[in-house]
Chain A
Amino acid sequence: MSVTRTGNTEALDPEQSPLEQHGDVSTPMPKLQVRSRPTVATGTSEPRTGVRLAKIRRTGDRVFFGMSTGSGVLIVLLVVFVGVFLLALALPSLLANQANFLTSREWTVSGSELRFGIAGLLWTTVLSSVVAMAIAVPIAIGVALFITQYAPRRVAGPLAFTVDLLAAVPSIIFGLWGIAVLGPLLVPTSDWLSSRLGFIPIFAPGIRSPGTVFVVSVVLAIMILPIVTAISRDVFTQTPRDHVEAALSLGATRWEMIRTAVLPYGRSGVISASMLGLGRALGETVAVMIILSKPADNSGFAPSLFAGGETFASKIANNAAEFDTPSKTGAFIASGLVLFIVTFAVNAVARIISDRGHARS
């Protein structure tokens, strides 16, 4: 009780506190009003000088909060701007377009009359990506199961690492390898498939070169394998222990345990991962551009996997050097806008599915 209660209190006194001497808080602080009222406990009415607790200069907090919030807002704005600016530049060309943008396969953008449509691009883009997904997803699930449920730790680690490293390979190298190494190897498979199943339009015989949609699909499948595997792996490892043990204690074999515990638990995660992979495949540019043979201008529609073609991304990249007039550029930007919308939708669905999965588990 021998504490002085008058005058400045000690700790935050500029004379004594190191905080005050050296800190960024050394500006004079408004002193809190002296309060005088009897306290319940002691009953004294002696006025006391308070501890100084008034607002310290807190510009730091405000600036930092502002910068963080600003970054968050900027990220949202970036995505909005991508849509807005692409639309703004595509609109004049879309309005001047003489052909039906969605259903036409024409692409005449140099002359005075604009005629362009995305039907062909859309077909090739979606076909190659969906086939890629159909190839990649089962393999990715298999690899993820192998890593999480089958392999001993000594094997699982390096295998996971190898698959992750595949994701690090730049896409231009996938393209180079796809056209020079993988493509020629796949020609016999293509021939065999088209000779047996050629009556179905997408398996119809096409070109006998490595530059086919089929080769692109296989390369895209390899490219999206790591992301689908990584996410599936994560959800499989999160399978609740008691689900697994319940299945095993009922006498289930390993595969039965996987079917009853692991796969149902990981379903939404795997679907979401597949959608992410699909999004990647839809937007892949350089690998597709390098591999895919461009068909001659105004050739007929070839829906086959074994034909050449162009995707949104490869079309834009192929013509990157020729963005000379605004109307021409606008036509390419219009197709880029469609690609943006499609990938936006696919990624949004992936996010929604994974959110729902989280909510349930």
Chain B
Amino acid sequence: MAKRIDVNNVDIFYGNFHAVAEVSMTVEPRTVTSFIGPSGCGKSTLLRTLNRMHEVIPGAHVKGSVQLDGTDLYAPGVDPVAVRRVVGMVFQRPNPFPSMSIFDNVAAGLRLNGVKNKGVLTEAVERSLVAANLWNEVKDRLGKAGIGLSGGQQQRLCIARAIAVEPQVILMDEPCSALDPISTLAIEDLIGELKEKYTVVIVTHNMQQAARVSDQTAFFNLAAQGKPGKLIEIGSTEKIFSNPDEKATEDYITGRFG
């Protein structure tokens, strides 16, 4: 299931604005990698290039290559829609489809991609909700509206929706920033379980969270406002948090800046 990601010399632009410069990194399958760094350092932008979601914004383009088990996501002939079926994403704010029930939300990815078989859908919905630690809470009200759930439940619903299409990689863009501490804990536990099957990349503002959930941590920074963001350091979470190579990383981790 899980896939390895190789980012080679990636530069990201919004129109003429150079948002992220020269990033190279490798994300091993079945690991959790977190991106940390101050606001505007390009960590979310980079995350979005891993499933070409940045293309939703007009004028955004990428130089360099992002490979998924050796296949370049930016090679000519690659369909961004196909990329996103393989690399799923969970967003900052829970965004269940308001016009759909809990069941329909989880089934949405499959249905919209043409799966009609009721048995397949029911099986996938249950499997995904179980995997997202939400099944016990919602199994009696699958027909109710998804927006009726609490924030934390909605976010787990969105995770269930993302894994229902059986992606190889799950990207999470600050998935807990809109949640209370208890819901955050539930999501963090879940991330720990997800890496059994998936490659997970998570952007977070919360350094404790990065330390708690990830195997590998990447620190991003930008020299000044208007300058492109850069990858300063990447390494095992343990190393980054205890003995980073770069002074900037240490300053950020210890809260001396940022």
Contacts and interface: CB of A to CB of B under 8 A. Distances in A.
Interface of A: 1, 3, 5, 9-12, 17-19, 21-25, 30, 32-33, 35-36, 39-42, 48-56, 58
14 contacts: A1-B29, A3-B3, A11-B167, A18-B117, A19-B110, A19-B114, A23-B114, A32-B75, A36-B70, A48-B70, A51-B68, A51-B69, A52-B82, A56-B79
A9 B69 contact: yes
B209 interface: no
Q: Interface SS of chain A: helix, strand, loop or mixed?
A: loop
A1 B28 contact: yes
B73 interface: yes
Contacts, number: 115
A18 B127 CA distance: 14
A33 to B, nearest CB: 8
A35 B24 contact: no
A131 B136 CA distance: 70
A274 B167 CA distance: 56
Given A12-B86, A56-B82, 15 more contacts: A3-B2, A9-B3, A10-B1, A11-B166, A11-B167, A18-B120, A22-B114, A35-B67, A35-B75, A36-B70, A39-B6, A39-B67, A50-B72, A52-B71, A56-B79
A32 B79 CA distance: 11
Q: Which 8 A-B pairs have the closest CB atoms?
A: A50-B71, A23-B114, A48-B70, A41-B26, A22-B115, A53-B78, A51-B71, A53-B82
Contacts of A11: 1, 85-86, 166-168
A30 B67 CA distance: 18
Contacts of A21: 115, 120
A274 B198 CA distance: 61
Interface string B107-139: 000100111110010001000000000000000
A39 B116 contact: no
Nearest to B80: A53
Interface of B: 1-4, 6, 8, 24-26, 28-30, 67-73, 75, 77-79, 81-83, 85-86, 110, 113-117, 120, 124, 165-168
Given A5-B69, A19-B114, A53 B29 contact: no
A52 B72 CA distance: 10
A25 B114 contact: yes
B70 A53 contact: no
Contacts of A55: 77-79, 82
Of listed A17, A51, A53, residue having the most chain B CB within 10 A? A53
A324 B77 CA distance: 62
B86 A53 contact: yes
A159 B122 CA distance: 51
Contacts of A50: 68-72
Nearest to B72: A35
Nearest to A17: B166
Interface centre among B73, B78, B120 (most CB of A within 10 A): B78
Contacts of A22: 114-117, 120
Contacts of B83: 53
Contacts of A48: 69-71
A58 B167 contact: no
